[in-house]
């Protein structure tokens, strides 16, 4: 049986004193958020605001030009063909190595 020794460096403070998140701020307590209405009624109330914000965001979008669409499409097709060639070549090499090496 192996014995494990755990060495912990301590500062002389308790865990609660050491952790900055556990300090209670008595002078400025965190406010408790008001409980919002939940359910489908609240969803219907927020729908117009949501649609307005979506429309505002869509106005900020810029559509790609035909040149950008064509160039990215060509790049995708070229790299697809390169990957096909690479994996085909890799498969042939590994097949030859598999036949050459006696692995059985």
pLDDT at 47: 87
Sign of the dihedral through C-alpha 36, 37, 43, 44: negative
pLDDT at 100: 81
- pLDDT (tens digit, 9 = 90+) per residue, 88-102? 999 999 998 888 887
- pLDDT (tens digit, 9 = 90+) per residue, 14-61? 665 655 555 555 555 555 555 566 677 777 888 889 899 999 999 888
Sign of the dihedral through C-alpha 73, 78, 82, 88: positive
Residue with tokens 């692995």: 103
pLDDT at 1: 46
Tokens of 4: 């494990």
Tokens of 91: 């498969």
Sign of the dihedral through C-alpha 86, 91, 94, 100: negative
Residue 90 to residue 88: CA distance in whole angstroms: 5
């Amino acid at each position: 049986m192996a014995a494990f020794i755990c060495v912990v460096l301590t500062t002389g403070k308790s865990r609660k004193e050491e952790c900055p998140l556990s300090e209670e701020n008595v002078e400025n307590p965190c406010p408790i958020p008001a409980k919002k209405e939940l359910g489908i009624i609240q969803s219907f109330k927020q729908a117009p605001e949501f649609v307005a914000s979506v429309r505002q965001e869509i106005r900020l979008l810029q559509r790609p030009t035909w040149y950008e669409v064509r160039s990215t499409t060509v790049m995708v097709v070229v790299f697809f063909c390169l990957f096909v060639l690479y994996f085909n070549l890799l498969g042939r090499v590994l097949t030859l190595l598999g036949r050459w090496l006696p692995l059985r």
